[in-house]
Amino acid sequence: MSTQPAQLIEPSLTLQRRFNATPAKVFRAWTDPAQFMTWMRPGDAHVASAEMDVRVGGRYSIVYRKPDGKEIEVDGQYLEVVPERKLVFTWIWRYSPEHETRVTLLFEADGDGTWLTLTHERLEDDAQREDHRRGWSDGLDSLERYVA
C-alpha cells in the first residue's frame, strides 16, 4: 500500500477544429489584434480591446465586453511562438490573478486547410473547464466563419 499523497490533477480541455484556410491565415487571426477583435466572440461578449506583443516573453491583454456593459480582462505572456505552427501562452483573468492557466495552440497544415488543436491546462475545477469549453467553442465557431 502506497503512503504517497494522491497527486492533484487539474482539469484541462482540448478542442480540435479544421479550418478551410492556410496555417498562415489562421495564425495571423490569433496574433493580429485587429483580426482577433473582429472574430473572437465567446458567448454574448465581444472583444473591446486587444494588445499583443507576439514574441517569447511578450505580453498580451484582452478586454471582453458583455451586452450589459460589464468588462472582463484577461492577460498573460507568450511562452512559445513558432510562426504558423505553435503558440503557447499563460491565461490569467484579472479577477483571479492568483490562478494562472496555460493555452497551447497547434496549427497543422492539412491540404489547403489547417487543423487547429487548442489545449487549455491548469484549470481550477470542472466548472471552469466547462465555462472555457463553451467560450473557446464559440470563439472557434466565429473563427471558422472569419477565415472561410
| pLDDT tens figures, 7-54 | 567 899 999 999 999 999 999 999 999 999 999 999 899 999 999 999
| Domain spans of the chain, in order of start | 19-147
| pLDDT tens figures, 5-17 | 555 678 999 999 9
Instruction: Please give the DSSP secondary-structure letter assigned to residue 83.
Output: T
Q: Which residues pair with 88 in a beta bridge?
A: 80, 104
Tell me the angle at which helices 126-147 and 23-31 cross, rounded to the nearest 10 degrees. 120
| pLDDT tens figures, 85-115 | 999 999 999 999 999 999 999 999 999 999 9
Q: How many helices (H) and strands (E) does the chain have?
A: 3, 7
Q: Tell me how far apart the alpha carbons of residues 90 and 101 are, in angstroms, rounded to a whole number.
A: 6
Q: Using a cut of 0.85, tell me whether the model's pTM lies above it.
A: yes
Homologous superfamily of 19-147: START domain (3.30.530.20)
| pLDDT tens figures, 54-92 | 999 999 999 999 999 999 999 999 999 999 999 999 999
